[in-house]
Amino acid sequence: MRRRRFLALGAAAGVAAVPGVATATASAATRSPRLLADPSAAGASDSLRDLAARIGLRVGTAVIPFDLDTPAYAAVLANQFSVVTPGNEMKWQVVEPAQGQFDWSGADRLVSFAEQHGQRVRGHTLLWHNQLPDWLTTGVANGTISNSQLMDLLEQHIFTEMGRYRGRIWQWDVANEFFTDSNPSGINPNDFWVSHLGPDVIPRAFRWAHQADPGALLFYNDYNIAGEDGSNAKSDAVYQWLQQMLDQGVPVMGVGNQGHLDTQFGFSGERMTQDLQRYAGLGLKVAITEADVRTFVNNATAQVPTDNLAVFAQPYEFGQMMKACLAVPACISFTVWGFGDADSWIPGFFTGEGYATLYDVNLNPKPAFSELQQDLRLAATGAPRRVHT
């Protein structure tokens, strides 16, 4: 079994109260790959990326450099997806493991792969409480890094990383997971950044990001902000905060809903559609950024669902997320958080759960893949007209 190296996007990311392998065809490297405008365009196929391209949507996945070492995995990545999100390789802990010493090798490799295959890149993530370098958190804890110095280091980090990839990143998750899971929800006062620098650190980060790369789309990204918590409390709080940011001229351009679901909890595709639409009503782009749907399995190796109904629930919930995105014209991308069960972060984080992605542990497409393919095919071509009798 392939190693699991995806790291969770915050422990609370799972709290919700709520085919075969195709051969890759490399296209010419380009910073702005064009979408197919015509369903009959030469080379169009039934891949997720081609079907989505016919309606101006991009379908993506999170990736780690290790994935590229497996030819079959790289082939699926190149053939099925039009957006790449580095799973870990753009996080501060990875790019600057020692102060002033940078390691861009993993991020460079993934960006180069994307450009070679006509894909765009989602940068992930600039401002987050997790996966920070030890030298930074230790320095803050022992007082050798003051709050004023911390602010300067953050500014430097944003300009350094975004400057390296200026003009090559389509979307950046500037700020990630700042809102509480409580009802009512709000910005978490205990967040590492907020506790040291105050909530104004978030709009500062957006302004710096816009200066660093004026052409990039800048996103706020979080989980359970499209009604997955059942109460809509978190969505309400984020919506109100976004209104305030826009009123203040903060360059927030999009909102990403992660879409980490679990079949044991309730989920409303209709509520997700409504929440994505109200974000769009603010003039923002929206995206599903980290979709997966986990369920209970026999073990972490085989990842066979223990409930027979789960094999129907898992693709159903994937399909509900895709339909919500399709229903909102401002939804510009749909990204799954890894596409193979053998490489998923879920079994290592949620005991007894797995089967969360589009491909099984042997890299065979699952019903969830077919569900997304059918949704995109109908969106791209429409239902065939009835034959009158």
Phi then psi for residue 335, to 5 deg, are: -115, 130
- Greater pLDDT, 17 or 185: 185
The pLDDT, as a whole number, for residue 31 is 35
Q: Which residues contact 85 (CB under 8 A, 6 or more apart)?
A: 60, 61, 62, 63, 121, 122, 124, 289, 290, 335
DSSP SS3 for 387: coil
Cβ atoms of 226 and 280 within 8 Å: the answer is no
352: left (phi over 0), alpha (psi -120 to 50) or beta: left
Summarize pLDDT for 91-118 with one digit per residue, the tens: 999 999 999 999 999 999 999 999 999 9
The pLDDT, as a whole number, for residue 389 is 80
Of the listed ranges 44-53, 103-112, 235-244, 272-281, the one predicted with least confidence: 44-53
The pLDDT, as a whole number, for residue 312 is 97
The pLDDT, as a whole number, for residue 229 is 87
Exposure on the CB side of residue 373, measured as CA atoms within 13 A: 13
Token pair for residue 285?
A: 């782009």
pLDDT over threshold 70, residue 352? yes
The pLDDT, as a whole number, for residue 21 is 37
Query: pTM higher than 0.85 for the full model?
Result: yes
pLDDT over threshold 50, residue 220? yes
If we measure between CA atoms, which residue out of 101, 17, 353 comes closest to residue 345? 353
The pLDDT, as a whole number, for residue 45 is 87
- Greater pLDDT, 10 or 232: 232
290 is catalytic: yes
Q: Which residues contact 300 (CB under 8 A, 6 or more apart)?
A: 347, 348, 354
- Over the chain, what is the mean pLDDT? 91
pLDDT over threshold 90, residue 69? yes
Distance separating alpha carbons of residues 354 and 294, to the nearest angstrom? 5
Summarize pLDDT for 272-312 with one digit per residue, the tens: 999 999 999 999 999 999 999 999 999 999 999 999 999 99
Task: Taking residues 236-257, report their average pLDDT.
Answer: 98
pLDDT over threshold 50, residue 197? yes
44 pLDDT tier (thresholds 50, 70, 90): low
Summarize pLDDT for 154-167 with one digit per residue, the tens: 999 999 999 999 99
Q: What angle, rounded to 10 degrees, do the helices at 310-327 and 269-280 form?
A: 20
pLDDT over threshold 70, residue 378? yes
Which position has the token pair 């997966």? Answer: 292
- Greater pLDDT, 41 or 169: 169
Of the listed ranges 214-223, 256-265, 318-327, 378-387, the one predicted with least confidence: 378-387
Cβ atoms of 347 and 300 within 8 Å: the answer is yes
Q: What percent of the chain has pLDDT over 70?
A: 89
pLDDT over threshold 80, residue 130? yes
From the candidates 290, 317, 353, 371, give the one annotated as an active-site residue: 290
Q: Which fold has domain 11-381?
A: TIM Barrel (3.20.20)
Exposure on the CB side of residue 276, measured as CA atoms within 13 A: 32
From the candidates 177, 317, 353, 371, give the one annotated as an active-site residue: 177
Task: Taking residues 185-192, report their average pLDDT.
Answer: 98
Phi then psi for residue 14, to 5 deg, are: -100, 0
Summarize pLDDT for 71-93 with one digit per residue, the tens: 999 999 999 999 999 999 999 99
Query: Beta partners for 261?
Result: 293
266 pLDDT tier (thresholds 50, 70, 90): confident
Q: Which residues contact 330 (CB under 8 A, 6 or more apart)?
A: 276, 277, 279, 280, 284, 285, 286
Where are the chain's structural domains? 11-381
371 is catalytic: no
57 pLDDT tier (thresholds 50, 70, 90): very high
In angstroms and rounded to an integer, the radius of gyration of the C-alpha atoms of the chain is: 20
The pLDDT, as a whole number, for residue 33 is 36
